[in-house]
C-alpha cells in the first residue's frame, strides 16, 4: 500500500507532464508509465524518479524530499543544482548495483540523433548518476547523491 505522500507525488508528477518550465523537460508519458506501472515500488529506480518529479514542483514538497533522501544528502541538497544536472535527460530502467546496498540509476542525456550500436564496439553516452543506498531502518532505498557515482567505500558498503 502506498503512503499518502507518495500518492500525492504521483498525482503532481502526472499534472506537470504537459509543462516545460525553465527549459526542463518533464518525463515523457511513456517514461511515466514505465515508472509508475511497471517498476517495483520498492526499487531504486522508483525512488530516483520520485526525486526527479519532486524537484520540479513549486513549492518543493519538503516532506517528500525528507522521505526520499538520506539525511546526509538532504543536508546538502541544492534543488537548483539537481534540476540543472538532470535537465534534458531520460531515465534508464535498469539500475546498476556496485554493491548489494548501493544502486546507480542512470539519467542519460537526450540524444539529437539515434545512437547506432555496433557489435563488439563500445557505445559511449553521457549520463548522470543518482546514487541510492538501501537501509531497512529507513524503509528502503534513499537518494544519497546526484551527478557522479558514489563508490561503495564512500557509503560504508
How many other CB atoms are there within 10 angstroms of residue 52's CB atom?
26
Max mean pLDDT range (19-23, 30-34, 39-43, 61-65): 61-65
| C-alpha separations of 84 from 22, 78, 147 in Å | 10, 10, 10
Q: What is the pTM of this model?
A: 0.69
pLDDT tens digits, one per residue of 46-105: 899 889 888 888 888 888 889 899 999 999 999 999 999 888 888 877 788 999 999 999
What are 154's three cell numbers?
564512500
The CA distance from 39 to 107, in Å, is 16
| Domains within the chain, CATH numbers bracketed | 4-154 (3.10.450)
Amino acid at each position: 500500500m502506498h503512503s499518502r505522500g507518495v500518492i500525492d507525488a504521483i498525482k503532481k508528477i502526472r499534472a506537470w507532464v504537459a509543462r516545460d518550465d525553465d527549459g526542463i523537460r518533464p518525463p515523457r508519458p511513456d517514461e511515466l508509465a514505465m515508472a509508475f506501472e511497471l517498476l517495483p515500488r520498492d526499487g531504486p529506480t522508483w525512488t530516483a524518479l520520485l526525486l526527479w518529479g519532486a524537484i520540479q514542483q513549486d513549492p518543493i514538497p519538503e516532506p517528500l524530499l525528507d522521505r526520499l533522501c538520506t539525511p546526509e544528502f538532504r543536508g546538502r541538497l541544492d534543488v537548483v543544482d539537481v534540476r540543472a544536472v538532470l535537465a534534458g535527460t531520460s531515465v534508464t530502467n535498469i539500475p546498476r548495483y556496485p554493491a548489494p546496498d548501493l544502486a546507480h540509476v542512470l539519467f542519460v542525456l537526450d540524444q539529437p540523433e539515434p545512437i547506432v550500436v555496433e557489435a563488439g564496439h563500445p557505445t559511449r553516452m553521457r549520463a548522470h548518476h543518482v546514487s541510492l543506498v538501501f537501509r531497512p531502518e529507513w524503509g528502503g532505498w534513499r537518494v544519497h547523491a546526484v551527478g557522479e557515482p558514489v563508490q561503495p567505500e564512500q557509503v560504508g558498503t
